[in-house]
Amino acid sequence: MTAPGVDDAVRGRPTVTERRLHPVTPLRRAWAPIAVVIGWAVHDPDQAQRQLTRLTTTTLLIALAVVIPAAALYGFLTWWFTHFAVTDAELRIRTGLLFRRTAHIRLERIQAVDVTQPLLARVAGVAKLKLDVVGADKKDELAFLGEDEARALRAELLARAAGFAPETAHEVGEAPSRELLRVPPGVLAVSLVLTAATWATLAAALVVPPLLWWATHSVWTVLATALPLLGAAGASSVGRFVGEYDWTVGESPDGLRIDHGLLDRTHETVPPGRVQTVRIVEPLLWRRRGWVRVELDVAGSSNSVLVPVAPREVAEAVIARVLPGVTVPPLSALSRPPRRAARCVPWWWRGYGLVVTDAVFAARHGLLRRSLALVPHAKVQSVRLAQGPWQRVWRVADVHVDTGANKTVTARLRDAQEAAELLRAQAERSRTGRRGARPDRWMAS
């Protein structure tokens, strides 16, 4: 449905080869009807049993004869009508059975590339490929591709996004990766044991159901509360262990590589210059061991962990690779709010701190669970100064720094005079900070 002129222009260029997803794709939703039936049976066992006894073998067979081919046909048709193609500047995805949908994703705007393999996909030897772009949809993932194909496609996409010539992009292949850090399973397990949230959910899961049983003597109430609580406890302990197992951070010319997972494997690549903020989180119980957790924000990406647990020096070394030219300011460099800030936020004001270096705006908050957020000046989208009436009485103000990953870093309760100067200076720095930044196509210059 393109205009004739456009059509000619397209035809003038080398033709774009469209590809299909891996043939196992139609099976990916095969479990959905079964899950629905099981869910219904669990939800209402009496009714389910009554219905089951009423079912005769014939009706069952007829139902199967209708449902299975229909589902198979649907799966097959969705697969058949989904195409993707890589052009010089874009990844095009064409999909939809009844409602056609075409997504053109500009490669130089890629914020991250994820290759994920859920457990079943690993068994089948396939993988999902997802491009994180600002404003991208869940729909714009390529699920599923063959394992090798996904890897080759990722390498090709990154090579093209990096600005390699289109003819060579195909042969550039996977950029060599150098391992920066690997989290040993033992350390990960200990770190989870030392996380208060794990214990809180576990304690809740163990204490609340007996109390409820004692109060109500109703099996259903107890089950309805115990199952979600146990689920939350499992997710925050075992789930996190499984998800963050064998966490590896690597470095390659294509950017940062983050691989993790015991059952579901995830391989994420964040091209250079895409990291908007980095946070160093230090839970209370980790402090004695000197461990920290590092979180990062990339626009359009849902993953936010860079290092689940590591000694502070190692984590800082990784951060220095992630944000080139940035050294994590030592705690002694942070300046606290003035004493009178205690009138605005009693006690906790001691946890606030701020330091601005040549490269980053760094703000700390939290007294028990310390968190230091770093924003490179080049990533600042806007700066705001806010002051409420009570804060004005005590001549303090907050400075907010907004970044592209929809995260705001706040330096709280600064002296009003200092905050006003900070606002001006930060705006200036964020404007000039761009000069030293690398281009979107990171290999082009």
List residues binding other proteins (CB under 8 A).
109, 111, 134, 274, 276, 299, 378-389, 392, 400, 402-406, 408, 423-424, 426-427, 430-432, 434-435, 437, 440
Residue 50 or residue 384: which is nearer to other proteins going by CB? 384
Q: How far is the CB of 381 from other proteins (least distance, A)?
A: 4
Residue 333's alpha-carbon distances to 28, 329, 406, in angstroms, are: 53, 6, 27
Spatial neighbors of 189 by CB under 8 A, at least 6 apart, are 241
Helices (DSSP H) in 101-218: which residue ranges? 119-124, 147-162, 166-172, 185-193, 196-216
Q: Strand, coil or helix: what is 355?
A: strand
Residue 259 or residue 402: which is nearer to other proteins going by CB? 402
Q: How far is the CB of 355 from other proteins (least distance, A)?
A: 20
Q: How far is the CB of 422 from other proteins (least distance, A)?
A: 11
Residue 253 or residue 404: which is nearer to other proteins going by CB? 404
Residue 275 or residue 319: which is nearer to other proteins going by CB? 275
The answer to whether the beta carbons of residues 296 and 317 sit under 8 Å apart is no
How would you write 195-258 as a 3-class SS string? CHHHHHHHHHHHHHHHHHHHHHCCHHHHHHHHHHHHHHHHHHHHHHHHHHCCCEEEEECCEEEE
Q: What are phi and psi of 405, to 5 degrees?
A: -90, 25
Going by C-alpha positions, the residue among 330, 410, 303, 424 that lies closest to residue 366 is 410
Q: How far is the CB of 166 from other proteins (least distance, A)?
A: 21
Residue 168 or residue 406: which is nearer to other proteins going by CB? 406
How many Å apart are CA 91 and CA 88, to the nearest integer?
A: 8
How many Å apart are CA 163 and CA 272, to the nearest integer?
A: 13
**Angle subtended at Cα 27 by Cα 22 and Cα 29, rounded to the nearest 5 degrees:** 120
Q: How far is the CB of 427 from other proteins (least distance, A)?
A: 4
Q: How far is the CB of 261 from other proteins (least distance, A)?
A: 28
How many Å apart are CA 227 and CA 221, to the nearest integer?
A: 10
Q: Is 310 exposed, middle or buried (0-12, 13-18, 19+ CB in 10 A)?
A: buried
Q: Record the tokens describing residue 411, joined without a space.
A: 């330096």
Q: How far is the CB of 385 from other proteins (least distance, A)?
A: 4
How many Å apart are CA 57 and CA 64, to the nearest integer?
A: 10
Residue 225 or residue 303: which is nearer to other proteins going by CB? 303
Q: How far is the CB of 86 from other proteins (least distance, A)?
A: 21
Q: How far is the CB of 440 from other proteins (least distance, A)?
A: 5
Q: How far is the CB of 421 from other proteins (least distance, A)?
A: 10
Residue 51 or residue 406: which is nearer to other proteins going by CB? 406
Residue 82 or residue 403: which is nearer to other proteins going by CB? 403
Instruction: Write down the residue that tokens 């391989």 correspond to.
Output: 267
Residue 293 or residue 365: which is nearer to other proteins going by CB? 365
Residue 51 or residue 432: which is nearer to other proteins going by CB? 432
Residues 20-52 as b/e (b if ≥16 CB within 10 A, e otherwise) read ebbebbbbbeeeeeeeeeeeeeeeeeeeeeeee
The answer to whether the beta carbons of residues 386 and 367 sit under 8 Å apart is no
